[in-house]
Amino acid sequence: MQFQQTDNKKPLEQFGRNLTETAKSGKMDPVIGRDEEIRNVIRILTRKTKNNPVLIGEPGVGKTAIAEGLAQRIVKGDVPEGLKECELYELDMSALVAGASYQGQFEERLKGVLKQVKEAEGRIILFIDEIHTIVGAGKTSGAMDAGNMLKPML
């Protein structure tokens, strides 16, 4: 069975939020006091290898704010050349899982998202809040969980 897009939306539009578009439209509060962390994320993203930053911290300490700050910098062009054309999406894992009624539907949804990311050839950055929830997400008998599906792209 194939992933069905609804309302002609691409998978990331359906299961995520484009943080760069939100920043562009002015619907995002300014990020204050996170310059060092945002610079570190930018430094990691621009590496040739091992370029997948993971933000670790207790709930409410500002991990999402760092992602939003990065989106704002991308919009302003305040990033290295390799990131200027990027779009930053926040992937909503609960939306991916919600309503996945038949076996393999979650897997198909995630495959659609990953296909869109791959086709963008490095121009899409994914922010997965509460990334620990992907371990085992969508796992059913004979199906691959989200963590294993993401692994080849990391």
The domain locations on the chain are 11-153
| Residue 73 pLDDT class (50, 70, 90 cuts) | very high
Q: Taking residues 114-136, what's their average pLDDT?
A: 86
Query: What three-state secondary structure class fits 1?
Result: coil
If we measure between CA atoms, which residue out of 32, 42, 130 comes closest to residue 79?
Answer: 42
C-beta pairs of 93-99 under 8 Å, 24+ apart in sequence: 93/128, 93/129, 93/130, 93/133, 93/134, 93/137, 93/146, 95/14, 95/15, 95/16, 96/15, 96/137, 96/138, 96/146, 97/137, 97/138
If we measure between CA atoms, which residue out of 80, 90, 2 comes closest to residue 44?
Answer: 80
Per DSSP (E only), the strands in the chain are 16-18, 87-91, 124-128
The string of pLDDT tens digits covering residues 33-68 is 999 999 999 999 999 999 999 998 888 999 999 999
Distance (Å, whole) CA 98 – CA 42: 32
pTM: 0.83
The string of pLDDT tens digits covering residues 89-109 is 999 888 888 888 777 888 899
Q: Taking residues 66-71, what's their average pLDDT?
A: 98
- What is the predicted pLDDT for the residue at 62? 93
Instruction: Name the fold adopted by 11-153.
Output: Rossmann fold (3.40.50)
